[in-house]
Amino acid sequence: MKSTVESLSPTKVKLIVEVPFEELKPSLDAAYQSIAQQIVVPGFRKGKVPPQVIDQRVGRAPVLEEAINDALPKLYSQAVQDNQVKAIGRPEVDVTEFNDKESLQFSAEVEVRPEITLPDLAGLEASVEDIAVSDDEITEQIEALRQRFGSLNPVERAVGDNDFITLDLSASKDGEKVEEAQATGLSYQVGSGQLLDGLDEAVTGLSAGESNSFVTQLVGGALKGEDVDVEVTVTAVKEQELPEFDDEFAQTASEFDTADELRADVQTRLERGKRLEQAGDARDAVLEKILTLVDVPVPEGLLTDELAARKENLEQQLGYSGMTMEQFLEGEEQTQEEFDEDLKKRSEDAIKAQFVLDLVAEEQELSVNDQELTEHIVRHAQRSGVSPDQFAQHAVENNLVPSLVSEVVRGKALAHLVENAKVTDASGNAVELKTLQPDGTYADPEAAAADEAPAEEEPAKA
């Protein structure tokens, strides 16, 4: 087999392949065997019909067509390998010439990974925002802790904002009760907005034993998104009493002896979270900076697939939340055209980033071990709400393992870039990332260095 490659664009090539007829013999034999199993010829057992009889009964053309269809994928793969083509996506194959018992010629146009050249990334600089924990953020965390230890006390008054109430709900459509929208004894905090639109307004001002009705839309069931009539009855009203934030509370709610120590711990925990957010911002900033320095052509087919996948994912998320595209765009304060343009830009950047990180991984000879892949699968499973075993089985059955491996390798490539970049905050302070731990703390640099250093060999014992 002879093959040549012709460049059509930075992201597309054309393979031209010529195959001597004798190299088609394995596929031709397989075609005869396949057809022999499908036909019945008097005097011959099924599957034992000779090729010459098949040519007489069925014709040579169907045999050749099946043989070529069988051979083309293998021949294409061989041509890709011989010419070291970094193909992506499915090829467009065209049989340009075929002469029985002589030769087969075909061409295959396929998108390829673009050839890109990384600049010298030594000393790459990027900037992120300062870490700042406000008094309001600390107060919010403390209030949440006080609420955990608060008590609910019954009150003889009308429902007000933030009250905890017990209620009965009954929804109906055109006078008929909606069976899946009947509930009694529901606990609800006024103002949380966690049940139905219009509920807060309907119950505010009611006392225990009083009812009200309102029109709303259901968020699930057969009548999802349709207007229904809802009657709500308040059966109990309670208000929350919060403990004072003092030393006694600190001793009850934590391992600290004083309120000041507890407040300081809250601040430290918030700072750790901000530090992790800053690390994420640093990764984004470094990658964004690199993309401005590298010319990365984007294959059209790959971009089309990426856009389709992102749109499908968004549609699924909107469907789960009961939100329309119009409501989503309104919340994002975007027109459809602005959203489409932004989605295209983000898709292009994602593809460019993959190409860059793949190249970095190749240059740094990065790989993935079993433990790293397992940890990645566990994280995916947690986000998907399934067990690691279920996700792993799904990945194997749907051939997703190679893409999971690629995700880990790209993550390691990005970590390499970030750790070797000079990242500063808005105040000009260096952002330490090499020893940052998953909990937002820093590892001991000396201990980390010791872990990375090769262990000395112990002297042999006599």
- Residues (pLDDT < 50) of the chain are 447-462
pLDDT tens for 358-405 read 999 999 999 999 999 999 999 999 988 899 999 999 999 999 999 999
How many domains does the chain divide into?
A: 3
Identify which of 364, 357, 344, 361 has the alpha carbon closest to the alpha carbon of residue 296: 357
Instruction: Judge if 86 and 186 occupy the same domain.
Output: no
Tell me the CA distances in angstroms from 1 to 19, 99, 200, one per residue in order.
Answer: 5, 15, 75
Instruction: Judge if 306 and 435 occupy the same domain.
Output: yes
Tell me the CA distances in angstroms from 171 to 176, 182, 323, 352, 382, one per residue in order.
Answer: 9, 6, 21, 51, 35
Instruction: Judge if 443 and 303 occupy the same domain.
Output: yes
93 within a domain of the structure (yes/no)? yes
Place of tokens 């309104």: 330
Quick check: 109 and 92 in contact, CB under 8 A?
A: yes
CB atoms within 10 A of CB 279: 19
Last residue in a domain, options 81, 111, 141: 111
Instruction: Judge if 164 and 54 occupy the same domain.
Output: no
257 within a domain of the structure (yes/no)? no
Q: What is the pLDDT of residue 445?
A: 53
Identify which of 193, 190, 167, 170 has the alpha carbon closest to the alpha carbon of residue 180: 170
Place of tokens 């389709």: 308
CA atoms of 37 and 60, how far apart (whole Å): 16
CB atoms within 10 A of CB 163: 21
What letter would DSSP give residue 430?
B
The pairing of strands 422-425 and 125-128 is parallel
Two structure tokens written together for 166: 């017990």
Instruction: Judge if 338 and 218 occupy the same domain.
Output: no
Quick check: 277 and 144 in contact, CB under 8 A?
A: no
Last residue in a domain, options 58, 90, 111: 111
Instruction: Judge if 88 and 163 occupy the same domain.
Output: no
Q: What is the pLDDT of residue 82?
A: 96
Instruction: Judge if 15 and 82 occupy the same domain.
Output: yes
Two structure tokens written together for 305: 């697939």
260 within a domain of the structure (yes/no)? no
Query: 248 Cβ partners below 8 Å, 6+ apart?
Result: none
Assign residue 319 the CATH number of its domain: 1.10.3120
The residue range of the domain holding 169 is: 151-241
30 within a domain of the structure (yes/no)? yes
Assign residue 62 the CATH number of its domain: 3.30.70.1050
Instruction: Judge if 329 and 433 occupy the same domain.
Output: yes
Last residue in a domain, options 49, 84, 111: 111
Query: 212 Cβ partners below 8 Å, 6+ apart?
Result: 202, 203, 206, 231, 232
The pairing of strands 227-241 and 164-173 is antiparallel
CA atoms of 296 and 163, how far apart (whole Å): 57
197 within a domain of the structure (yes/no)? yes
* Global pTM value: 0.72
Query: 306 Cβ partners below 8 Å, 6+ apart?
Result: 347, 350, 351
3-state class (DSSP) for residue 235: strand
pLDDT tens for 246-290 read 999 999 999 999 999 999 999 999 999 999 999 999 999 999 999
Assign residue 193 the CATH number of its domain: 3.10.50.40
Tell me the CA distances in angstroms from 267 to 132, 167, 192, one per residue in order.
Answer: 10, 38, 26
279 within a domain of the structure (yes/no)? no
Instruction: Judge if 39 and 101 occupy the same domain.
Output: yes
Q: Which phi and psi (to 5°) does residue 92 adopt?
A: -100, 105
CA atoms of 209 and 236, how far apart (whole Å): 8
The pairing of strands 164-173 and 176-189 is antiparallel
Q: What is the pLDDT of residue 129?
A: 94
Identify which of 169, 188, 184, 171 has the alpha carbon closest to the alpha carbon of residue 232: 169
Q: Judging by beta carbons within 10 Å of its beta carbon (0-12, 13-18, 19+), is residue 16 exposed, middle or buried? A: middle
133 within a domain of the structure (yes/no)? no
288 within a domain of the structure (yes/no)? no
Rounded to 10°, the helix 336-364/259-293 angle is: 90
Positive or negative, the CA dihedral 158, 161, 164, 167 is positive
Q: Residue 128 forms beta bridges with which residues?
A: 425
CB atoms within 10 A of CB 3: 20
Positive or negative, the CA dihedral 426, 430, 436, 442 is negative
